């Protein structure tokens, strides 16, 4: 840190087991990746190449190499897994992971119908090759999953071999964990946390108010995701009680 302040909550340092920040890259140039890393590398634990953007971005191999040399794992968004799945091309997906040397992968069912045991089978199979993140929650805002089912799915997917389960919110932060207004489904999150250890969950929380809410509920070292590259510094100050929104939260009363 650039100077000393007392009463700053203790922050996990890399490689972190909790307090993870997952960042969404939806098409950065190589220089933009370097710029991002210059500022945010110490605070970034893992990067997602959003949904199937990796299909169209011309600089994929070079980009993966830059993240690799910075020691930051990268994975393709779950929608890419679903795109291969819905086309009966899962074997091709394995070859793509292999071709690009991916060490992490996401399994999700945000845009497809998939029985939970089928999903768990994919998690299980993939977990033999890569570290798996699995995502719970639909991208369809009309589709409300009750809390007991979130919990059941998360537990099953962790048991099937997922390293972390992700709570869905999309890039906009307006589905899954959140109402279409972006407001947190507070009761849902609290109920999940009674059953699933917080360190096993990454909460997608792209909006500032959502990040603030999770830091206040879980603490400085909550795992959050879908953070825009230029919002990682802001998030870090929210974690540390150094932005107005959490200014009082970590101070001795």
Of 111 and 200, which CB lies nearer to a second copy in the complex structure?
A: 111
36 is an interface residue for a second copy by CB under 8 A: yes
Q: Near a second copy by CB under 8 A, which window of 16-24, 129-137, 152-160, 230-238? A: 230-238
C-alpha distance across the termini of the chain, in Å: 24
87 is an interface residue for a second copy by CB under 8 A: yes
92 is an interface residue for a second copy by CB under 8 A: yes
- C-alpha span between 194 and 238 (Å, rounded): 24
Of 129 and 148, which CB lies nearer to a second copy in the complex structure?
A: 129
190 is an interface residue for a second copy by CB under 8 A: no
Q: Which of 15, 38, 197, 253 binds a second copy (CB under 8 A)?
A: 38
Q: Which of 48, 119, 139, 164 binds a second copy (CB under 8 A)?
A: 139
Q: Give the long-range contacts of residues 194-199, CB within 8 A, separation 24 or more.
A: 195/151, 195/155, 196/151, 196/154, 196/155, 196/158, 196/165, 198/18, 198/222, 198/223, 199/17, 199/18, 199/223
* Residues in contact with a second copy, shown as a per-residue x/- string from 42 to 61 under the rule CB under 8 A: xx------xxxxxxxxxxx-
Residues in binding contact with a second copy, number by CB under 8 A: 66
207 is an interface residue for a second copy by CB under 8 A: no
Least distance CB 111 / a second copy (angstroms): 4
110 is an interface residue for a second copy by CB under 8 A: yes
Q: Could you give the 3-state DSSP secondary structure of residue 156?
A: helix
82 is an interface residue for a second copy by CB under 8 A: yes
- Could you write out the three-class secondary structure of 41-89? HHHCCEEEECCCHHHCCCCHHHHHHHHHHCCCCEEECHHHHHHHHHCCC
230 is an interface residue for a second copy by CB under 8 A: yes
Residue that has been written with the tokens 């992968």 in this structure: 105
Please list the residues that pair with 76 across neighbouring strands.
Answer: 49
Nearest to 110 by CA among 88, 139, 89, 131: 139
DSSP state of 10: P
Q: Which residues bind a second copy (CB under 8 A)?
A: 1-7, 26-32, 34-36, 38-43, 50-60, 79-80, 82-84, 86-87, 89, 92, 96, 99-100, 110-112, 139, 170, 172, 208, 230, 232-234, 236-237, 240, 242-244, 247-248, 251
């Amino acid at each position: 840190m650039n100077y000393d302040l007392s009463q700053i909550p203790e922050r996990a340092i890399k490689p972190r087991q909790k307090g993870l920040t997952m960042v969404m890259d939806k098409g950065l140039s190589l220089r933009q990746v370097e710029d991002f890393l210059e500022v945010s590398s110490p605070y970034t634990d893992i990067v997602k190449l959003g949904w199937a953007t990796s299909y169209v971005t011309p600089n994929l191999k070079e980009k993966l190499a830059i993240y690799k040399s910075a020691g930051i794992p990268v994975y393709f968004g779950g929608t890419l897994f679903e795109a291969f799945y819905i086309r009966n091309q899962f074997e091709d997906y394995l070859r793509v992971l292999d071709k690009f040397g991916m060490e992490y992968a996401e399994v999700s069912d945000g845009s497809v119908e998939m029985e939970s045991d089928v999903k768990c089978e994919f998690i299980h199979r993939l977990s033999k090759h890569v570290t798996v993140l699995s995502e719970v929650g639909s991208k369809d805002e009309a589709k409300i999953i009750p809390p007991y089912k979130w919990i059941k799915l998360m537990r099953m997917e962790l048991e099937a071999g997922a390293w972390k389960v992700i709570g869905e919110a999309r890039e906009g932060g307006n589905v899954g964990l959140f109402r279409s207004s972006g407001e947190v489904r507070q009761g849902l999150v609290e109920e999940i946390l009674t059953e699933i250890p917080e360190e096993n969950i990454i909460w997608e929380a792209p909006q500032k108010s959502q990040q603030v809410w999770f830091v206040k509920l879980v603490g400085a070292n909550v795992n959050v995701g879908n953070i825009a590259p230029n919002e990682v510094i802001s998030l870090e100050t929210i974690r540390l009680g150094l932005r107005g929104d959490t200014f009082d939260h970590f101070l001795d009363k």
